[in-house]
């Protein structure tokens, strides 16, 4: 999965690459927010469960961290909101410690992954999104043809250039905060996505994009540019980050409910969402 980042921790740099993994079983991931927890996940740390353990997205350092099932189960006993899967408890029953190893916990505290407080910050809240039901591709299954106008091209270029510059020069946490707050303001003002309008805009985007860059191996740029492009037309779907661990896969895409805006749903079937804003 990557290099060692401390006792029991594996790290992987966050990049724009797209990799497709084999299908995995659907997991029921839960977290216990009640009870005598001594610690909480730090702000801008987002977890998700896989069949191999827990993956953490650390937006402050643009990296992923992996923890095995046994360590994740131990951490779920003392870290508020730390996720676990019921199947792990069955397979590791009587084996995993009820408290994490001291060197593991010390490493997570020193790395700013967990805090010595019970309450977790809600600076950025991930929206719950599911991939285990039928998904529909806008642009492949739902097609609203758009006559591309010069304004579409201009807006695309503005979004592409600003997105590429931001991803290169601006820490990802600032980008995520900005996108999250913009969508939250729109929802507070009564925003609801117009599927027909979005389908027309996606058709224009898909018509223009191949002239400027390939989507393959540029999923982060592709998804962020599309999010920015749609925002110029007052549409705010979710920007999603997802992972899989066998083999290691990191991907980013745009989605609204069961509608996928910028990729084939088959490429998502092995992934677990870790952040949706």
Question: Of 23-27, 116-120, 235-239, which has the strongest mean pLDDT?
Answer: 235-239
Report yes or no: 240 and 129 within 8 Å, Cβ to Cβ: yes
- Determine the distance from the C-alpha atom of residue 27 to the mean position of all C-alpha atoms in its chain, rounded to a whole number: 16
Report yes or no: 202 and 262 within 8 Å, Cβ to Cβ: yes
Helix 150-169 to helix 219-231 angle (10° resolution) is 130
211-215: long-range pairs with CB below 8 Å, 24+? 212/156, 212/157, 212/160, 213/160, 215/262, 215/263
How far is it, in rounded angstroms, from Cα 211 to Cα 236? 25
The overall average pLDDT reported for the chain is 83
How far is it, in rounded angstroms, from Cα 211 to Cα 204? 12
69-75: long-range pairs with CB below 8 Å, 24+? 69/96, 70/95, 70/96, 70/97, 71/8, 71/100, 71/101, 71/104, 74/98, 74/99, 74/100, 74/101, 75/100, 75/104, 75/105, 75/108, 75/114
Report yes or no: 123 and 44 within 8 Å, Cβ to Cβ: yes
- If one compares 91 and 108, the residue with the highest pLDDT of the two is 108
What does DSSP say about strands 259-260 and 136-137: parallel, antiparallel, or unpaired?
A: parallel
Helix 102-110 to helix 69-76 angle (10° resolution) is 80
Q: How confident is the model at residue 82 (pLDDT cuts 50, 70, 90)?
A: confident
Least confident of 18-22, 90-94, 157-161, 259-263: 18-22
**Which tokens is 257 given?**
């409910």
Report yes or no: 47 and 56 within 8 Å, Cβ to Cβ: yes
pLDDT at 20 over 70: no
Q: What is the pLDDT of residues 236-269, one digit of tens each?
A: 999 999 998 888 889 999 999 999 998 888 888 8
State the Cα torsion 74-40-242-135 to the nearest 10°.
100
Percent of residues, the chain, with pLDDT higher than 70:
80
């Amino acid at each position: 999965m990557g290099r060692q980042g401390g006792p029991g921790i594996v790290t992987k740099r966050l990049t724009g690459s797209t990799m497709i993994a084999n299908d995995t079983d659907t997991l029921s991931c839960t977290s216990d927010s009640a009870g005598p927890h001594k610690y909480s996940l730090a702000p801008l740390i987002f977890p998700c469960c896989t069949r191999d353990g827990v993956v953490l997205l650390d937006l402050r350092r643009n990296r992923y961290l992996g923890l095995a099932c046994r360590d994740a189960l131990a951490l779920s006993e003392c870290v508020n909101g730390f996720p676990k899967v019921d199947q792990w408890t069955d397979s590791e029953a009587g084996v995993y410690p009820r408290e994490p190893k001291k060197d593991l916990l010390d490493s997570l505290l020193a790395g700013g992954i967990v805090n010595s407080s019970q309450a977790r910050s809600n600076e950025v809240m991930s929206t719950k999104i599911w991939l285990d039901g039928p998904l529909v591709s806008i642009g492949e299954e739902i097609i609203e043809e758009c006559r591309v106008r010069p304004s579409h091209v201009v807006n695309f270029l503005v979004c592409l250039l600003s997105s590429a510059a931001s991803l290169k020069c601006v820490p990802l946490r600032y980008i995520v905060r900005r996108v999250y707050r913009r969508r939250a303001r729109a929802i507070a003002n009564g925003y609801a996505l117009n599927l027909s309008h979005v389908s027309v805009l996606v058709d224009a985007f898909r018509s223009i994009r191949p002239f400027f860059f390939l989507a393959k191996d540029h999923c982060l740029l592709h998804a962020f540019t599309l999010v920015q492009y749609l925002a110029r037309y007052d549409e705010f779907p979710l920007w999603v980050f997802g992972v899989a661990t066998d083999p290691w896969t990191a991907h980013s895409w745009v989605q609204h409910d069961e509608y996928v805006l910028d990729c084939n749903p088959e490429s998502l079937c092995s992934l677990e969402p870790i952040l949706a804003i």
